[in-house]
Amino acid sequence: MESIRYSARRFAQVLGMTPQELARAESSHALELEHAGMPVPAPGKPALYGVADLAAARTQLGKLPARRLMRRQLFLNFKGGTGKTSVSTSYAFRLAEMGHRVLVIDLDSQGHASKCLGVAGEESTATLFDAIIKKQPLKEVIVPTGMPGLDLVPSNLSMSTIDLSLMPLAAREFRLRNALKEVENQYDYVVLDAPPSFGLLNLNALMAANDLFVPVLADFLSFHGLKLLFETVQSLEEDLEHVLDHIFIVINAYNATYKIAKEAREALEKHYPDFLLKQVIRQCTKFAQSSSEGIPIFAYDSESKGAEDIQSVLDEVVGRIGEPVKLKLA
């Protein structure tokens, strides 16, 4: 994340200013940035900015968003490869870029969310396993990502036996929800990236979640997979008395030139009108490129279709869950 560079234009845009306003703030010393680690610009060329500058600018200019009660948002689909990791990590990064305090929890032993955020999960000494099985304080498991405001509970292969280890434990469905209580004053959003499986860990994630995001591909296998997911959510309500606030189905990797994709979208609109987001995420090759570099798509190419669409998804979701209660700025 430290390698992320913002042009003056993009930096101003992220802060909700014009480039002229940014330049004025800097020349009037209302804004004093170190441009730490940035190359000295050639004469006549504008300076570059890094993620540390972004955090400093928000504080100095009083551009921090209102704090909200910690909102736990789970990205889950039992089907693999639907974009849970690509979408959840980009969404989380964008929230942090907007000044929110965000914790990403990588629930998948593949450690892909960790990788997408530039953290090598296999080198992490502790994962969620230590927090919910061994009861190590969650705070000790959290690592910074290098992006101010964006922290991570990393994952690696040691997570692969977590379902078995949860089995004999007391309150085995509630371990994650309970562990999160420890950090509830520290974050505005917790974004959980689930593996494509059904087991006790994902049940824990569902029990901990306020909102469920279900990335789907516009094909009929995804459509059938949803039925199983909704049955699970329903049994959760009946047997464990946990009701989710919102379920958002989001069509990912959409290509309107495919007839099958349009048909699948129509079927989703017909059967899940209350849950389907209007905004779709279009097919975009930049996702693969950005994740291979461990840089979220907003920083890799903020003008890509993927970044644009995730921003629109975020706007639609905020419209549905409501703006944060206006607490005093931290």
Question: Residues in contact with Mg ion, total (CB under 5 A)?
Answer: 3
* Least Å from the CB of residue 310 to ligand ATP: 9
Q: In angstroms, what is the minimal distance from the CB of 113 to Mg ion?
A: 7
Site string for Mg ion, 2-41 (x = CB under 5 A): ----------------------------------------
The tokens 């693969």 sit on which residue?
Answer: 288
**DSSP-derived pairing of the beta strands 150-153 and 102-106:** parallel
Site string for Mg ion, 42-81 (x = CB under 5 A): ----------------------------------------
Nearer to Mg ion, 71 or 112 (CB): 112
String marking each residue 239-268 x if it binds Mg ion according to CB under 5 A: ------------------------------
> Which residues are near ligand ATP by CB under 6 A?
80-86, 108, 112, 195-196, 252-253, 281, 283-284, 287-288, 291, 306
Which member of 58, 68, 84, 115 binds Mg ion (CB under 5 A)? 84
Q: Rank residues 78 and 174 by Cβ distance to ligand ATP and give the closer one.
A: 78
Quick one: 108 or 308, whose CB is closer to ligand ATP? Answer: 108
**Structural tokens at position 138:** 């969650």
3-state secondary structure the chain: CCCCCECHHHHHHHCCCCHHHHHHHHHCCCCCCCCCCCCCCCCCCCCCECHHHHHHHHHHHCCCCCCCCCEEEEECCCCCCCCHHHHHHHHHHHHHHCCCCEEEEECCCCCHHHHHCCCCHHHCCCCHHHHHCCCCCHHHHCEECCCCCEEEECCCHHHHHHHHHHCCCCCCCCHHHHHHHCCCCCCCEEEEECCCCCCHHHHHHHHHCCEEEEEEECCHHHHHHHHHHHHHHHHHHHHHCCCCCEEEEEEECECCCCHHHHHHHHHHHHHCCCCECCCCCECCCHHHHHHHCCCCHHHHCCCCHHHHHHHHHHHHHHHHHCCCCCCCCC
Report the nearest approach of ligand ATP to the CB of residue 234 (Å).
Answer: 22
Half-sphere exposure at residue 134, Cβ-oriented, CA atoms within 13 angstroms: 12
From ligand ATP, Mg ion, none, which one binds at residue 283 (CB under 5 to 8 Å depending on kind)?
A: ligand ATP
Q: Which is closer to ligand ATP, CB of 243 or CB of 288? A: 288
CB of 270 to ligand ATP, least distance (A): 23
CB of residue 117 to Mg ion, shortest distance in Å: 13
Q: Which two tokens stand for residue 164?
A: 């078995």
291 binds, among ligand ATP, Mg ion, none (CB under 5 to 8 A by kind): ligand ATP
Least separation in angstroms between residue 21's CB and ligand ATP is 33
Indicate the residue among 37 and 80 with the shorter CB distance to Mg ion: 80
Judged by beta carbon, residue 155 or residue 283, the one nearer Mg ion is 155
Site for Mg ion, rule CB under 5 A: 84-85, 112
